[in-house]
Amino acid sequence: MRLLNRSFVVFLLLLLPLYAWSGETHFVTREQVDFSKLLPPPPALGSLPQKQDMDTLLTLQKDRTPAMEAFAKADAERSVFRFADVVGENFTPEKLPQATAFFNAVKDSADYLLGPAKEHWNRPRPYATNPEIHPCVPKPGNASYPSGHSTFGTVTSIVLANMIPERQTEIYARAELYRENREIGGVHYPTDVEAGRIAGTVVAAFLFQDPAFQAEFAKAKAEVRGVLGLP
């Protein structure tokens, strides 16, 4: 998997405001984070980067095993509880109602910010431009760039790792697998996933500046750590 362009992320983080926002429905507003202006455009159809994107997907498709396909299908679910395999067996929605609602709100905030960017670029999915791509996961009904799953997996992992710093390494490694499964599944280009990683990092940085988010984070963190038996 390609490394995140760290200098670009640092540049984006420098754009963070020095004040907190006060969105009522979401933790952040579109006026403060416009990914159609912050992210680079996706590769153009017919360009060399687009061909490289497609070649990567064709290779992954050729090499994927039934086990990899099953894993990708399972990771099509956008839920913080996909991280249970590295957090612990008690990490379930039944035992964590407050954390469930909190992470759903985080997901909704990320989706709210990403929607206009997807519409702005309206990049076709890989299988829409190449009949040789055969997804092994459900085909989404929206545009390809940036990846919503990658954004979700990134922001969720950052928030979760701040709740459970003892398992930070495992959580971030699991997030990488979550992102990769969108490419293995055949529904996202590598550049979609990389843009989602950047977007998720920026969303998380904004979230942790917001007092309303911090208050809900503290309550969810206490619940999670209590259920996991952590001090």
- pLDDT over 90 percentage in the chain: 87
Residue 31 neighbours by CB under 8 Å, 6+ apart = none
- Cα–Cα distance measured from residue 23 to residue 28, given in angstroms and rounded to the nearest whole number: 6
Q: Which residues of 91-115 are buried (b: 16+ CB within 10 A; e: fewer)?
A: beeeebeebbebbebbbebbebbbe
The gap from C-alpha 207 to its chain's centroid, in whole angstroms, comes to 14
Please tell me the CATH superfamily of domain 47-227, with its number: Phosphatidic acid phosphatase type 2/haloperoxidase (1.20.144.10)
Identify the pLDDT of residue 5. 55
CA angle 103, 101, 228 (to 5 degrees): 70
Mean local confidence (pLDDT), 57-73: 98
Taking the model in full, what pTM does it have? 0.89
